[in-house]
Amino acid sequence: MSNAWKILAVACCLALPGWGLADEEDPDAAAAHVRHALMELMGWNITPLGAMASGDRPYDADKAATQAQRLSALGNMISDAFERNTSGADIRTEALDAIWQNPDDFAGKAQAMLDAAAAYAAATGDGEAAAKVAFARLGKACKSCHEEYKSE
Ligand code: HEC
């Protein structure tokens, strides 16, 4: 065996137990992990839009449109990501039990965010002022769900 193959073989043995662990993760913790990751990505993708809206970064219509498309794709995952009811589970989460007590309202807020992201995407071609107005609506759509369903 060449050295490169030996290193690869060892690396595989080291990596596999890690993957096994992920499979064995408690399903409530796994669900929380996914929705956490989803929201982190939403935050990451909206950050440049916030910077453009506040003037911290020059307006760039192409970049704005790309970010809006990503937010739409991510927003489409919200209902699946929050499908598992983890109320009462022994996990670290900011998701409030109210999500699973008011599933229709929660889904409505996810839809409102999707509508706002689509409106933002449409506005990116209309110039900076239009994008600013659309950004305010998008930010409100995020906030309106957090106010009801996310702990501080
Ligand atoms: C339909 C409801 C809903 C919408 C819409 C929503 N969020 Fe969230 N968000 C949540 C919930 C619930 C949590 C807490 C998740 C948890 O701890 O499991 C959260 C958490 C977060 C977090 C914290 C992530 C972390 O580290 O735990 C960020 C950042 C975030 N959201 C960004 C956004 C952005 C940006 C938008 C809008 C583009 C948005 N969210 C729209 C419900 C929503």
Contact 83, 76 (CB under 8 A): no
Name the average pLDDT for the chain.
Answer: 91
Please state the rounded mean pLDDT for residues 28-48: 97
* CA–CA gap between residue 50 and residue 136 (Å, rounded): 9
**Among 35, 38, 39, which residue has the most ligand 1 atoms within 8 Å of its CB, making it the best to mutate?**
39
Nearest atom (ligand 1) to Cα of 42: 35
Residue 20: pLDDT band with limits 50, 70, 90: very low
Tell me, using a 6 A CB cutoff, whether residue 70 lines ligand 1. Answer: no
Q: What are the structural domains, with CATH classification, of the chain?
A: 3-83+95-149 (1.20.120.10)
Predicted confidence (pLDDT) per residue in 115-143, tens digit: 999 999 999 999 999 999 999 999 999 99
Contact 83, 99 (CB under 8 A): no
Please state the rounded mean pLDDT for residues 9-22: 52
Tell me the whole-structure pTM to 2 decimals. Answer: 0.87
Tell me, using a 6 A CB cutoff, whether residue 120 lines ligand 1. Answer: no
* 33-to-29, 71, 73 alpha-carbon distances in Å: 6, 19, 18
Residue 57 scores a pLDDT above 70 = yes
Tell me which residue of 52, 69, 46 sits closest to 142, measured CA to CA.
46
Contact 105, 82 (CB under 8 A): no
Q: Summarize the chain as % helix, strand, coil (round to 5).
A: 80, 0, 20
**Protein residue with its CA nearest to atom 41 in ligand 1:** 142
Residue 21 scores a pLDDT above 60 = no
| 146 CA → ligand 1 middle, Å | 6
Please state the rounded mean pLDDT for residues 52-73: 98
* pLDDT computed for residue 25 by the predictor: 82
| 137 CA → ligand 1 middle, Å | 16
* CA–CA gap between residue 141 and residue 139 (Å, rounded): 5
Tell me, using a 6 A CB cutoff, whether residue 135 lines ligand 1. Answer: no
